[in-house]
């Protein structure tokens, strides 16, 4: 069955739909010798090339979804390479054969915490799409005085330069003096939105960490620049939440799995407010 090129390549683990759409606009993809355009469709029987190299599409039933919970430290960037030579979140990840790790959303240089990494471009696209309303929860330390009126304005919404923004919820997490901790929840992931919302009220964010994405929280035992692979039960919950079905690893004739099973670690839960 024919699919749009970006969806077909995303399902085969080459990147996210948005990333592949950029490749199409840049003229990097051809289909049967013709330059691809946005909206073009193809099937697994067509000849696709990326930067002049033939793309070998994998059968969908052979692509096993993997997701890593990665603990990004402050100082890492979320691009695949950095012209300034700074470390990226991809440096510490295991290598994939014929696939790529895709970061589900980004965190800025000075923000730490949870980033989900997957080889499934369709899953990445759905997790990031605003229509699926995936919660992003952050622990944030505020420098400055915060009162109830300010918190209510942040819940109701304030106008930013790229449109209205608001926190779905705000929970006081304690602290002493001018430095106070809060847990806040967003339904979208605009650039530096948490920082900009607080700064609109005349206070400053002195520390910021993402602690949850959807049903997956950042396990305390994962140290910065380390990762934990999600087990089957967590993958099932995550994928079903965006309308996808998890396929179990394919077993070879020798009895070994094509992908490494995730370690036994139950940690998918939502913070209760």
Nearest to 197, CA basis, from 150, 242, 241: 150
Q: What is the DSSP letter of 61?
A: G
**45 carries an active-site annotation:** no
Strand ranges for the chain from DSSP E: 3-4, 29-31, 34-35, 41-42, 48-50, 53-55, 67-72, 102-104, 112-118, 136-143, 158-160, 163-165, 169-176, 179-186, 204-213, 216-217, 227-229
The pair of three-digit structure tokens given for residue 48, joined into one six-digit string: 């696709």
Catalytic residue among 46, 51, 82, 108: 108
Residue 138 near residue 183 (C-beta atoms within 8 A) = yes
Active site residues: 108
């Amino acid at each position: 069955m024919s699919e749009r090129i970006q969806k077909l390549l995303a399902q085969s683990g080459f990147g996210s739909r948005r990333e592949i759409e950029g490749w199409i606009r840049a003229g990097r993809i051809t289909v049967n010798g013709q330059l691809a355009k946005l909206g073009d469709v193809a099937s697994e029987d067509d000849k696709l090339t990326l930067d002049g190299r033939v793309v070998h599409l994998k059968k969908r039933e052979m692509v096993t979804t993997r997701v890593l919970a990665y603990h990004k430290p402050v100082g890492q960037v979320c691009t695949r390479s950095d012209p300034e030579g700074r470390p990226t979140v991809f440096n510490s990840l295991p290598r994939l054969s014929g696939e790529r790790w895709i970061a589900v959303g980004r965190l800025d240089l000075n923000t730490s915490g949870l980033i989900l990494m997957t080889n499934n471009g369709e899953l990445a696209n759905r997790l990031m799409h605003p229509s699926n309303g995936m919660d992003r929860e952050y622990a944030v330390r505020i420098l400055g005085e915060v009162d109830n009126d300010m918190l209510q304005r942040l819940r109701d919404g304030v106008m930013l330069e790229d449109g209205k923004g608001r926190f779905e919820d705000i929970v006081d997490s304690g602290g002493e003096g001018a430095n106070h901790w809060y847990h806040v929840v967003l339904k979208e992931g605009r650039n530096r939105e948490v920082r900009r919302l607080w700064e609109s009220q005349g206070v400053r964010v002195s520390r910021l960490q993402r602690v949850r994405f959807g049903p997956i929280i950042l396990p305390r035992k994962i140290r910065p620049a380390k990762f934990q692979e999600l087990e089957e039960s967590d993958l099932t919950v995550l994928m079903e939440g965006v309308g996808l079905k998890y396929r179990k690893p394919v077993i070879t004739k020798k009895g070994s799995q094509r992908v490494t099973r995730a370690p036994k670690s139950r940690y998918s839960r939502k913070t209760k407010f």
